[in-house]
Structure 1
Amino acid sequence: MKLIAAQPYVKVDRQIARTGLYYVEDDRTLYLYNDRIVSRHHAFPIEKVWDMSYRPVNGKGGLLYLHTSEGVNVYTVKQSPERFIEMFRETIK
């Protein structure tokens, strides 16, 4: 298992308190290995990952879509994951 690339992402949780609604960000990392992609709570075998795509949102980062045989997983990113996507596509060739 060789680390090829890493992509920071943010998990955003909404919390309701007496004083209002708050958004709490938890910084996390998505790791690309030669045989899998790993997030904090999931591991996807590389043969079950069909593709990745990216959609910028309001010039403040965007959404990274991980298309797998079990569905689509969405990750909020603050910086472009284009290099991460390139490395993934090179890995699955």
Structure 2
Amino acid sequence: MKLIAQHEYIKLERQVTGLEQNQIEHNRIIYLYEDRVVTAYREFPINIVTDISYKAIANEGGLLYLHTMRGVFMYQVKQSPERFIEAYKKFFK
């Protein structure tokens, strides 16, 4: 399995202790391989991935959408995943 592209995404975790609420930011990476897409806790065979898209949020990065036959999965990103999406379209569209 050959790595084609990768892109960093974040997962926000809310932690409530007593009267205080904190947000913990976990940095993770989504990987695009020849045969699958892999995130920290999920793996999608490439034959069920139908598209990858992106929606920018004003000055806050945006949302990367992984469209699959099992539904749409959303990942929060700080930088535009343009190269990641281009790599997907070049190899699989």
Mapping for residues 1-93 of structure 1, pairs under 5 Å: 1-93=1-93
Shift of 1:60: 1.6
Counterpart AA for 1:18: G
Q: Secondary structure of 1:90's match? A: helix
**Runs of 5+ consecutive residues of structure 2 not aligned to the other structure:** none
Shift of 1:58: 1.9
Shift of 1:21: 1.2
Shift of 1:69: 0.3
RMSD of Structure 2 on Structure 1 (CA):
0.8
Q: Matched residues, percent identical?
A: 49
TM-score (ref. length: structure 2)? 0.95
Query: Deviations along 1:35-87, whole A, 9 cap, x unmatched?
Result: 11000111101110000110111212110000000001000000000110010
Q: Which 4+ runs in 1 deviate beyond 2 A?
A: none
Shift of 1:19: 3.7
Tell me the distance in 1 between the aligned counterparts of 2:23 and 2:72. 24
**Runs of 5+ consecutive residues of structure 1 not aligned to the other structure:** none
TM-score (ref. length: structure 1)? 0.95
